[in-house]
Amino acid sequence: MRRPIVPSGRCMAQADLQKLIGHPAAWLVWRQPRRQDQAIARQTARKPRLAQSSCNDSAVLPGSDNPSGRPVSLHAIVATVNVLAEQGIAAADLLAGSGIPPERLQEPARLVNHHQEMTVFDNARRLACDESLGLRLGRAMHTSNYGILGYTMLVSPTLRVALETAIRFPLLLASYFTLRLEERGKEAWLLADDYHYRADLLSFNAEMCLSSMWSIAGDCMGVRWSPKAVHMSFAQPAHAGLYPAIFGHAGQFDMADNALVFPAKWLDRPQPLADAVSFHMAQEQCQRQQEQWASSHGSALVARVLRLIQSDPVRFARLDELTATLHMSERTLRRKLAALGTSFQALLDQARHQQSLHLLHDTRLSIGMIAERLGFAESASFRHAFARWTGKRPSDLRR
């Protein structure tokens, strides 16, 4: 078997992580679900091989912005190379046409773009002749595959904060979807929608997205529970029988959304590796890295939106005021920001978070005054948002 390629920045040694976060349960990050993998392999082996022509439709969704230039790390590509190396598929074949030489996989600091990543995914699906590959790749992804974002999620106080952190930093998450977390009664819904890429790879990307997010949630919680339901927006695939091995639950297809549904009470369970100091420091690193990546992508629009919100958080907390100043429709702004891997709400949160840290150092301002300056209708809304951003209360910064 080939030795897997592991860039030095991809994951820390177990002892190093334990030293960094001071918790003996750090091994959870690397725990491999061998029984599930074996079940997947057995069922996949019984499936007939697909014709290559089924993997070559490169249609782009009509009316969408193609986010092919969005920056992305090499983590998912390296994970794909490692998984398919077990089937004897060479890295050079997987990278063909992507413009990524094999030696670059040893340079974790290098960025590629989504077009290059999708070329590798398409090669992988074609060479493996396996339509269930998205599920398999997602199941192999862990917090360690997401660099500083994965670590931040791991040391978050609760699963709610961990998932909201992933949503806040879409460039670092590198998803082809917009993720949303909603509470509907006693259920929590993690939704993946607003897909902006190749129509023929929708099911592949949706399966990889939800299976990877569930794998990461298991790392964060320290246990592998089964969701109440798994919804997919596409027709039932031939490999639907693999869903119980991945999620512990059968999939439901032709649904309105791609979503994981699970008990809302899980959201506020304390995480076993939670660490307030590490979380705060890691979140700041996520913020800097996302800003650097957005800058490298040449996003003048993101920079301008941030400047406007920072100049007047009350006025520009309203999307209609922002779009009027930018001389574009709300729909156009949402579409352009989505193509850049972000959203109006994410940028509003980013600007408010940065300003709140500055304002809290001015002890002459009450929490209510700060909430008002940032455009919140009431202090409670600001306290809730601040806890979501930092895992702390605003008053904690003044002690």
Q: What pairs with residue 187 in β-bridges?
A: 184, 263
Determine the pLDDT at residue 197: 77
Burial pattern 212-229, b for ≥16 Cβ within 10 A else e, equals bbbbbbbbbbeebeebeb
**Distance (Å, whole) CA 215 – CA 40:** 15
Contacts of 366 (CB under 8 A, 6+ apart): none
Asked if 48 and 161 touch (Cβ cutoff 8 Å), the reply is no
Burial class from Cβ neighbours inside 10 Å (0-12, 13-18, 19+) for residue 378 reads exposed
**Distance (Å, whole) CA 396 – CA 399:** 6
Determine the pLDDT at residue 14: 37
Determine the pLDDT at residue 301: 81
Q: pLDDT tens, position by position, for the chain (399 residues)?
A: 444 444 433 333 333 333 333 333 333 333 344 444 444 444 444 333 332 333 333 333 333 344 566 788 888 999 999 999 999 999 999 999 988 999 989 886 788 888 889 899 999 999 999 999 999 999 999 999 899 999 999 999 999 999 999 998 888 898 888 899 999 999 999 999 888 777 888 999 999 999 999 999 999 999 988 999 999 999 999 999 999 999 998 999 999 999 999 999 999 999 999 999 999 999 999 988 887 887 666 567 877 888 889 889 999 999 999 999 999 999 999 888 877 767 888 889 888 887 888 788 777 889 999 999 999 989 999 999 888 877 778 888 776
Burial class from Cβ neighbours inside 10 Å (0-12, 13-18, 19+) for residue 305 reads buried
Max CA pair span of the chain: 70
Asked if 34 and 40 touch (Cβ cutoff 8 Å), the reply is no
Asked if 109 and 68 touch (Cβ cutoff 8 Å), the reply is no
**Model confidence pTM above 0.85:** no
- Beta-strand ranges (E) seen in the chain are 71-72, 112-113, 178-184, 187-193, 229-231, 251-252, 258-263
Q: What angle do CA 178, 272, 388 make, to 5 degrees?
A: 40
Asked if 75 and 145 touch (Cβ cutoff 8 Å), the reply is yes
Q: What is the DSSP string of 187-209?
A: EEEEEEE---SBGGGHHHHHHHH
Q: What is the DSSP string of 82-106?
A: HHHHTTT--HHHHHTTTT--GGGGG
Determine the pLDDT at residue 2: 42
**Distance (Å, whole) CA 309 – CA 317:** 7
Q: Which domains does the chain have, with CATH numbers?
A: 14-263 (no CATH), 299-398 (1.10.10.60)
**Distance (Å, whole) CA 188 – CA 325:** 36
The tokens describing 111, both together, are 């960025």
Helices (H), 248-275: none
What letter represents residue 331's amino acid? R
What letter represents residue 129's amino acid? C
- Name the CA dihedral angle for 59, 61, 64, 65, rounded to a multiple of 10 degrees: -30
DSSP structural state of residue 339: H
| CA contacts within 13 A on the Cβ side of 96 | 10
Determine the pLDDT at residue 338: 78
Determine the pLDDT at residue 37: 45
Asked if 193 and 178 touch (Cβ cutoff 8 Å), the reply is yes
Determine the pLDDT at residue 315: 92
Helices (H), 54-143: 75-85, 91-95, 114-128, 133-140
Asked if 162 and 144 touch (Cβ cutoff 8 Å), the reply is no
The SS3 of residue 2 is: coil
Contacts of 141 (CB under 8 A, 6+ apart): 76, 79, 208, 211, 212, 215, 216
In the block, residue with structure tokens 């917009």? 178
Determine the pLDDT at residue 201: 87
